[in-house]
Amino acid sequence: MSVLPKDHPKVQKEKIGVLILNLGTPDHYTYWPMRRYLSEFLSDKRVIDYSKWLWQPLLQGIILTSRPFRSGAAYKSIWNHDKGESPLKTNTRSITDKLQKQFGKKEVIFEWGMRYGNPSTEAGIQNLIDQGCRKILFFSLYPQYSAPTMATAYDKAFDALKKQTWQPSIRTSGPYHDDDAYITVLADSIVKHLKKTKAKPEVILTSFHGVPKRYLMQGDPYHCMCCKTSRLVREKMGWSEDQWINTFQSRFGPEEWLQPYTDKTIEKLAHDGVKRMAIVSPAFAVDCLETLEELAMEGRDEFLDNGGEEYTYIPCLNDAKSHIDYLASRIRYELSGWLS
């Protein structure tokens, strides 16, 4: 008769885990936390695919000497000082907590993790396993698929699984860019926000985070998915094509990125005599630096400085009840066959 050692881990009742994954956030907006975060982010081959022998000396020696100061100042302008964290972290935690309340804790356990920074993806997986989860769904908060977002989030998760002696069963969620229920929630949020404006905008911009055009040529479907999301929302709202423009923001480096560029389009609209415009970013499930600082602040300044009069930033869905309800429904779909 075999006897297990006293320190042998007990086998718990099996549960299902859901790990909510997001891009990431620095721990603080000061230099060293920003440098650590940017170094991890910009060293990811899914994000910057240049040869490391050329890229790393440039990144570590030149870029990370000055960029943490500029990025830190931008983060400081949108920082959640009450909680001592970025809005992306606040919103991702809130979404996870609200989803847990919808499901209860009898069968499904929710955790969250970041591709870059803290809390880490590995810690989220370990927390789920420690709570008895033998089946885990990785659910990334990206409506559209792209290698530098959804793929790298799952890369990181599977890297963490390599350290597990007893790996759980795993599923990954896919994009939901054209799900009619998601399109409806997004369109309703835009309509609701526009009711607060003084007058109807002449133009709406849907601004998506950009990637190098080269990625599209290599087969990344992100551009097509973004365009489809934008078209479906426009059609749902009944706006004409000449009132609706799809753009791409946040380019980095010398090569061509997906066009048209958001900042150039905002400037051109103002120069062309457009006085009222609204902007929304359907690539982001939650508000973050790229929406709160780049669009809500810099975009407003560009429009007003060039002759525009009314600029409306429409927030991301964040932890709104309609968004939580949609995500819960989507997760139940992804868990089909696992849930009792």
Q: DSSP secondary structure string, 78-138?
A: H-BTTTTB-HHHHHHHHHHHHHHHHH-SSSEEEEEEEEEESSBHHHHHHHHHHTTEEEEEE
User: Which among 144, 202, 205 is positioned nearest to 175, based on CA atoms?
Assistant: 144
3-class secondary-structure state, position 18: strand
Q: What is the pLDDT of residue 3?
A: 57
3-class secondary-structure state, position 169: strand
The overall average pLDDT reported for the chain is 96
Q: What is the pLDDT of residue 215?
A: 96
Q: What is the pLDDT of residues 75-100, one digit of tens each?
A: 999 999 999 999 999 999 999 999 99
Element spanning 20, H or E: strand 15-25
The CATH 3.40.50.1400 portion of the chain extends over 15-175+322-334, 180-314
Bridge partners of residue 259, in order along the sequence: none
Contact (Cβ atoms closer than 8 angstroms) between residue 77 and residue 293 = yes
Sheet-wide strand order for 244-249:
244-249, 203-209, 276-280, 310-314
Q: What is the pLDDT of residue 340?
A: 79
The pTM assigned to this predicted structure is 0.94
User: Which among 103, 171, 102 is positioned nearest to 337, based on CA atoms?
Assistant: 171
pLDDT beneath 50, residues of the chain: none
CATH class for the domain made up of 15-175+322-334: alpha beta
CB atoms within 10 A of CB 117: 21
How many helices (H) and strands (E) would you count in the chain? 13, 8
Q: Name the fold adopted by 180-314.
A: Rossmann fold (3.40.50)
Q: 237: which 2 tokens?
A: 């709202």
| Four-residue CA torsion sign, 310, 315, 320, 323 | positive
